[in-house]
Amino acid sequence: MPHLVILYTPNVETASDMTALCRALADTMLAVKDEEGQQVFPTGGTRVLAYPAAHYAVADGKRDYAFVYLNLRMAAGRSDAIKKRAGDALLAGAAAHFDPLMKERLVGITLQVDESPGQVYDGKHSNLHPLFQKT
């Protein structure tokens, strides 16, 4: 964790490099610092995944509207200020990425940040984390 999942209408895909967006937002997440200047999100646990919607309806359907939904899910324990800082940075990154497209078509962007305070099970199996642990 953290995981950022992006769901989008496929009508943005031809005009937007979604892989570049994923990389930019992962880098944004890795740049978020806490009040002591420490990296907030672990490098090995940071994931950004994007999926086009196979089926969708946006607004009244009278135009070819586009929509992008971003959901950041993180483990509990971070301050409200950190959650806001991360959300603001990710929304700014997504807005900057889609700004050229928004000059040509109508696009809605929503970002939500969720915290998993009472998870019942959080299983992990990975050989990524050791690559980024400081010794």
- Find out if CATH 3.50.50.60 is the number for domain 1-8+31-67+82-118: no
Query: How much of the chain exceeds pLDDT 90, in percent?
Result: 78
Query: Cis peptide leading into 52, omega within 30 of 0?
Result: no
How far apart are the C-alpha atoms of 113 and 57, rounded to whole Å? Answer: 23
Specify the pLDDT at position 69. 95
**What's the confidence (pLDDT) of residue 127?**
66
Chain segment 81-116, per-residue pLDDT in tens: 999 999 999 999 999 999 999 999 999 999 999 988
pLDDT (0 to 100) of residue 76: 87
> Could you give the maximum distance between any two Cα atoms of the chain, in Å?
57
What confidence tier does 122 reach under pLDDT thresholds 50, 70, 90? low
Q: Is 125's pLDDT higher than 80?
A: no
What pLDDT, on a 0 to 100 scale, did the predictor assign at position 118?
Answer: 62
**Residue 15 three-state SS:** helix
Residue 62 has pLDDT above 70, yes or no: yes
pTM here is 0.86
Beta bridge partners of 115: 74
Mean residue pLDDT of the chain comes to 90
pLDDT band at 77 (very low <50, low <70, confident <90, very high): confident
- Please compute the mean of the pLDDT values over residues 41-69 and round it to a whole number: 94
pLDDT exceeds cutoff 80 at 25: yes
